[in-house]
Amino acid sequence: MSQTTGTDTEKYDRQLRLWGEEGQARLEKSSICLLNGTATGAETLKNLVLPGIGAFTIVDNQKVAESDLGNNFFVERQSLGQNRSKVVCELLRELNDRVKGSSVEEDPIHLINTNISFFKDFNLVIANRIPEEPLLTLSQYLYENNIALVVVNSYGFIGYLRLSVPEHQVIESKPDTPMDDLRISEPFKELEDYANSINLESLNSQQHSHIAYVLLLIKFFNAWKSTHGGKLPETRPEKEEFKKFFISKSRNYKDELNFNEGVTNLLKAFQPSRVPSDVDQILKDPKTSELTENSDDFWVLAAALKSFVEEHKKLPLHGNVPDMTADTLGFIKLQNIYQDKANEDLSDLTGRVESILSKIGKDTIPQEYIKKFCKNARFLHLARYRSLNEERTQPRTQVITGELEQPDNLMVFYIVLRAVDKFFTLYNRYPGFNDEDIDSDQSLLKNIVNQLLSELQIPTDLVKDDYVNEFTRYGASELHNIASLMGGITSQEIIKLITHQYIPLNNTYIFNGINSTGANWKL
């Protein structure tokens, strides 16, 4: 993975703190296509151009109209009548001279139907205001070619976002509050030996109050086990009894912060080292045992990790030690013990990776990638998204019905938006687009909603007429504040997909701008 230059470090300082140099390098290598330079599309691209994606292409054959001037900040009055993709592209490029931008003055629907291979060289495609049939065609092509598709629309006060990619692997999921991996209840030999080597009785008061709580807990866990059949406290009364026992070993509990920290971290210390469910699912995945020379590096590493866990019954040690009350020399020694064990586990895992690579005839995996995988083994995440075609042909009716049965649930907007797409397919315009058609369009849209619900085998009375009438009143309008918000949310999820850091939503998100609420479902 290429490193960013000094100029990049200065320009992108704040974001480098979020996703690091490797994440930035992934962004700078990305190529993204936007279909239709509407307000929502432009706002999405804006938030990708600023952090420095590699390149973008806008496909749009529409001319800049008066309606664009009212909601799209990336067109100007002097642009009226000019091609929208060209105008939006030029203004977006002004935001970051390191990003390459181009425009294609063609109808996206025509491009999908006549030259779909156009999309094969992009990392990700953003579809905005694309009717259902060509969207499904595009979705199937991208899904088969493992190219991410992001569908985003704002329609009046409602925002819609859908992500689709066959498989998305995350090594650096970066949980907000990761639990420390200190192995207190199951210490490895070097750590236990160090704890046992400390003679608390021989220490003066200052020294006694500066023994790291990790070592104290290990010592007193061992003392407890010696009188309880070799077992740690298991029941709630036993844990309370151990807590009192632990406190009793302090000389002045009120003033000894290390003992206070021990009590604070007691519940976490009782927890044995387990393989998280997300990681366990990855290790059990058939891809870990069906490796070939064409297998992704992720699955080779997962197979090596599976072998490691089968032998050691634990994941590799992370190696980081959080700050705690301790004397300097003692804390440094403790850090070194954990780091040495982490390095030992890394070496073990690397050997397993090399053995697998040799068996399947695959090229070497960079050591830095193995190290990152090993260090983040507890935080691995794998997401498999349903395609839009699966969503249509194998609808999750039970989920949809359950949501609709709750009063004023946001799922109602999903249904009406689906109906709006069908309306466009039938009439080649959006409901309410012409003022004189509003009354008749309400009836037409209601019929389509009922038809859709019937196809899904959902009672038609679960969608009130008020929602249908409101969508017709919107007349396909884009409000800039909704477009801007959806652009921000969408670009955030795209950055997750590109950098393979943090966990993106899966797979559908609806935002209600009327009361500022949102909901996420797997549909």
- Read off the pLDDT of residues 318-370 as tens digits, 9 standing for 90 and up: 999 999 999 999 999 999 999 999 999 999 999 999 999 999 999 999 999 99
- In sequence order, the β-bridge partners of residue 103 are 58
Q: Find the mean pLDDT for residues 75-100.
A: 94
124 in Cβ contact with 147 (< 8 Å): yes
Place of tokens 């390149």: 55
- The CATH code that applies to domain 6-167+479-521 is 3.40.50.720
Q: Is 70 exceeded by the pLDDT of residue 155?
A: yes
At 500, is the pLDDT very low, low, confident or very high (cuts 50, 70, 90)? very high
The number of beta carbons lying within 10 Å of the beta carbon of residue 477 is: 18
Contacts of 476 (CB under 8 A, 6+ apart): 155, 430, 431, 432, 433
Instruction: Give tens-digit pLDDT for 362-395.
Output: 999 999 999 999 999 999 999 999 999 999 999 9
Q: Find the mean pLDDT for residues 505-518.
A: 96
The 3-class secondary structure across 193-231, one letter per residue, is HHHHCCCHHHCCHHHHCCCCHHHHHHHHHHHHHHCCCCC
User: Residue 20: its pLDDT value, please?
Assistant: 86
Terminus-to-terminus CA distance in the chain, angstroms? 35
Q: Find the mean pLDDT for residues 177-185.
A: 90
At 408, is the pLDDT very low, low, confident or very high (cuts 50, 70, 90)? confident
Q: Tell me which of 393-407, 429-443, 504-518 is least confident.
A: 429-443
239 in Cβ contact with 266 (< 8 Å): yes
d(CA 496, CA 506): 12
Q: Is 60 exceeded by the pLDDT of residue 174?
A: yes
- The most distant pair of C-alpha atoms in the chain lies apart, rounded to whole Å, by 93
For 462, the token pair is 């679960």
Instruction: Give tens-digit pLDDT for 214-270.
Output: 999 999 999 999 999 999 999 999 999 999 999 999 999 999 999 999 999 998 898
Q: Is 80 exceeded by the pLDDT of residue 8?
A: no
- CA-wise closest residue to 33 among 105, 102, 109: 102
Instruction: Give tens-digit pLDDT for 102-114.
Output: 999 999 999 999 9
d(CA 270, CA 209): 22
User: Residue 77: its pLDDT value, please?
Assistant: 93
User: Residue 14: its pLDDT value, please?
Assistant: 83
For 330, the token pair is 């003692």
Task: Share the mean pLDDT of the chain.
Answer: 94
Q: Is 50 exceeded by the pLDDT of residue 3?
A: no
Domain locations in the chain as residue ranges: 6-167+479-521, 189-270, 277-383, 388-474
Sheet with strand 31-35: strands edge to edge: 100-104, 55-59, 31-35, 124-127, 148-155, 158-164, 508-512, 517-521
Kindly report the pTM of this predicted structure.
0.90
Place of tokens 């409901």: 431
d(CA 77, CA 159): 26
For 5, the token pair is 């230059």
User: Residue 7: its pLDDT value, please?
Assistant: 43
d(CA 262, CA 242): 12
User: Residue 300: its pLDDT value, please?
Assistant: 97
Q: Find the mean pLDDT for residues 412-432.
A: 94
User: Residue 436: its pLDDT value, please?
Assistant: 82
d(CA 370, CA 298): 9
User: Residue 6: its pLDDT value, please?
Assistant: 46
Q: Is 80 exceeded by the pLDDT of residue 1?
A: no
- Residue with the bigger pLDDT between 408 and 523: it is 523
For 38, the token pair is 């509407």
- CA-wise closest residue to 37 among 5, 77, 9, 65: 65
Q: Is 80 exceeded by the pLDDT of residue 4?
A: no
Which DSSP category does 338 fall into? H
Which DSSP category does 500 fall into? T
User: Residue 12: its pLDDT value, please?
Assistant: 83
Q: In terms of residues, how long is the chain?
A: 523
At 197, is the pLDDT very low, low, confident or very high (cuts 50, 70, 90)? very high
For 270, the token pair is 């009782």
Q: Find the mean pLDDT for residues 45-49.
A: 97
- In sequence order, the β-bridge partners of residue 32 are 56, 124
How buried is 218 (Cβ within 10 angstroms: 0-12 exposed, 13-18 middle, 19+ buried)?
buried
Helix segments in 249-387, DSSP class H: 257-264, 266-270, 277-283, 297-312, 328-360, 367-375
- CA-wise closest residue to 159 among 413, 471, 448, 406: 413
d(CA 170, CA 382): 6
Q: Is 60 exceeded by the pLDDT of residue 2?
A: no
Percentage of residues in the chain with pLDDT exceeding 90? Answer: 88
